[in-house]
Structures are given as structure tokens and as C-alpha cells.
Amino acid sequence: MQFTKMIATCATLGSASLVVADQHGKPALHDWNQEVLYFVIPDRFADGLPNAHETDPSKPGYFHGGDWKGLTNQLPYLDELGVTALWITPIVDNIDGYVEGAGFPDWAYHGYWADNFTALDPRMGSEADLKALVDQAHALNMKVLVDVVFNHVGYGSDFIDIHPDWIRQNDDCGTDDLTTCLFGLPDLKTERPDATRHVLNAHAAWVDRIGFDGYRIDTAKHVEPAVLAQNQSLVVDRFGPHFLTLGEVWGADASALSKRYFEPGLMTGGIDFSFRGAVGDWLLGRSRTVAFAQGYLQKRHKHTPGAVLAHYLSGHDEPGLLHELNGDKTLFKLAAGLQMTSVGMPIIYYGEEVARDIGEWPSNRSDMPWGLADILPGAGQPQDLEMLDYYKRLIAIRHASPALSMGAFQALSDDGDLLIFARSQDEETVIIAVNRGVEDASAAIPVDHDAEWVEQLGNHLFRATGGVLPLTVPAQSIWILKPKP
């Protein structure tokens, strides 16, 4: 069967196929699948308020000096990269001290150890600085997600003394997902209505004041489903259906997110923890191409229609995929190409686009490398500018083809080391060919009519004749092909 006809019959397998607007004219939820999300730990990105507080970039667990103003100053860089949504770590006031046990003093530079949900962390800047960040992002048509923590507070937080009945710790900690004290952190008893109201309302108040476009919900796996449902009702009523709730459910894939969170209406989006490993395993030859194509990529399209499925290659709690690929940048480019041509919203972890060494913790939280630019704390740290250019081209291709973010999937060739698949939506079809092998690989793809196809990364032309598009893909290469207009 010719693939363009087959895809037309299965378009309903993808995410929502329509981009609509709500009554306020803002993009509705379906549009989030077309965003490219950039994840930043502000302390490790850019310093816009020099000498505002004590810093020491030589210490992995201490503050390095980045802040909201520094991030605001670099929004043009993100805009040029093609980023359309920004995710920042929690903004609330965090504990002042440090904790032991990591082999070095570890401070709350990352924002996940709350001390007061109703105040901002002054080390990151003022409320005016944060508002300016969001306003300027919006001026660039860039959405902003804020990280929120409903599950716990920081070690030794003053919050414990103020609300002792709202906290479980030490011997009170349970062994199940909901009552465990994750990494020994004081666990919020969100089964208590008063505790839940306080936390949910505190975060919603920041949305009212600052104008965020959604939440990334930290440790959602450890939050009661009723609390997630209550939060979902609150944000829809208060901020509208376009407001994204992107949950971190550690280890969950598209199927688990759909069954446990999307379909019950607990969240409107989730992070797919399976993508990084599946891509890495295939590139390293640990899985067969047919299994990767039909047993993995195809099945990702069966998640709940309209929900937002986010996929990543690197993050702050795991080594980056470039590190897992033993620093092989050629293979990593194939991974980035697969990420940008797969269903859902891709997440770029800061510096990934310039080949930052995202290694084992704590080096996965190292400073953004700024090369020759005089931007602290990462000034002088090398950038791979060829990788940066490659990311810009990939992202531009994704933005130009809605089929890549929301279209249906069909495997066209899945033998040996060569993977060829199509993404199609409405009248648009894109063919992606990836050769993980060390030798060239060929396939003949049946098409509906003879035409020229343009390879988008290199602008090469290929002609289909006699209803067949012949392709010989060079070793360790990716091609993205569209019919010539």
C-alpha cells in the first residue's frame, strides 16, 4: 500500500490535529504540542545582577550567580535558536542553609527546597525582575512554564515550625509513593485540605501576579490524585484551558501518563521518561530497528488525544544523552533529529544545543557555556557552534512542518540499521530517514506520484520515478524530506 494513502486513514492516532484559540484569543492547549521547550536552572545560566549575593562557581553545590535578569538578557539568544516556550525552576523562597551527604555542601540554588511558598527567592532577583522576564518572553511570543512543588519543602525549612501538623518526616514517613519522604525531604501532608489549599493557592497567586502560562509539576508521582485534580480545576477556572499542567511522573511513558493522568483529567501534559533511553538504545545497537519503529515510536502516538507529551534527551536528574553516547556528537545529532521529528513537545536542556558536557550529577547542573561571550558564570567555557547551527536548522524545520509535532506516524523501512518513517497531517507529509550504521544503507519507498523531494537539512533534491522514491542514506546520517512545492 502506498504510504500517503495509509497515513490519511490513521490521522486520528496523533495528538490533537487542530490549533484553535480560546475566547481570549490565546492559543488553546493543543498548540503546546507545537512548542519547543527550553529548560533552564537560572542560577547556572546567566548573571544579570553581579555581586547581588555571595557566589562561588568553583563549588558544585553552591550558588553560581545566575538569576532572572540574566536569563531575560539572553532571551534573544533563545529566540534566535527557535525556542517558543521556557521552563524555569521554582521561584519561591528556599532554605538559607546547605545539606551534607553529597560529598560537598549542597545549597538550594535549584529552587526545589521551599521555605516559604508566598515569597520569592531573593537570590534570583526581585518580583519586578521576574515579571520583566515573563513579559519580555511574551513579547517574543515565548510561553513560560514555572516549576511548582506540591510534594515537599526543604530540609530544615522554617515552614515545618510554622505548620508542624502539615509535615511528615523521619519516623512518620511511609513506604508508598504518596507518604514516602523523597530523599529524606519533609513531606507535605497534602491529604489535608488546609495544607492543599495553602500550597495550591500560593502558586496560583504567582500566576496572577507574574503571568505564567503553565506549571511543570515536580514529583507529580508522589502527589495524591485528588490534589492534582483539585489543582487542574483551579487553574482551568482561573486561567483558562490554555494553561498547561506538565507533570513529572518519574519513569512514566506515554501509555502510563494517558491511563493514570490524562484520561482521569489530573494533568494536561506529562514528561515521557522513556524517550531518551529508547533513542539511546537504538543508536547504540541495543534494540532492533523494527522494534524501535513499530514497538516504540508508533505506540507513542496512541496517547490521549489533545494531551501534551513532552520528550527530552538530557535533564537535571540524569546524565545527558551525549554523555551516554560516550561523547559521540555524530550519534547525538541523530538523537536530536529524532527528537525534533517525533510527536509531542521536545525539551532542550540548557546548553545541550552547544554540546555542554551534561554528565553524571552534579556535572549535569554545570554552568551554561558561553564561549567568547562575557556572560557569567560560564564565560570562557567552550561552545560547539556547529552543533548550535544544527539545532537551529532542526528547530526551524520542525516549526515549518506541523506534521512533525502532531501528525500520524508510519514506518516505511525498518530493516537493519536504516529507519525510515513518515509523518503526515492534512495535506502535509514528511519523510524521515535515519541510518545509525557505519555503512551507507538503501531503500525504495513507494509514493503516490512522481515528484521531487527536498532534503531539508542539506537542501539536496531526490526524484521519485515510477511511483518509487529511491534513497541511499549515508552512514550515521539523518535526512528530513518534503515534496518540492
Q: What is the pTM of this model?
A: 0.94
pLDDT of residue 97 exceeding 70:
yes
In this prediction, residue 449 has a pLDDT band, given cuts at 50, 70 and 90, of confident
Tell me how far CA of residue 401 lies from CA of 194, 341, 420, 423, 457, in angstroms.
47, 9, 17, 10, 13
- In angstroms, rounded to a whole number, what is the distance separating the alpha carbons of residues 480 and 341? 9
In this prediction, residue 4 has a pLDDT band, given cuts at 50, 70 and 90, of very low
pLDDT in tens, 37-78: 999 999 999 999 999 999 999 999 999 999 999 999 999 999
Average pLDDT, the chain: 93
pLDDT in tens, 181-219: 999 999 999 999 999 999 999 999 999 999 999 999 999
| Structural domains of the chain ordered from first start | 17-407 (3.20.20.80), 411-483 (2.60.40.1180)
Report DSSP state, residue 222. Answer: G
3-state secondary structure 61-73: CCCCCCCHHHHHH
Mean pLDDT of 236-261: 97
CA-closest candidate to residue 297, choices 402, 391, 432: 432
CA-closest candidate to residue 190, choices 148, 156, 158, 155: 148
pLDDT in tens, 78-96: 999 999 999 999 999 999 9
CA 321, chain centre distance (Å): 14
Residues contacting residue 479 through CB under 8 Å, at least 6 positions apart: 431, 432, 433, 434, 455, 457, 458, 471, 473
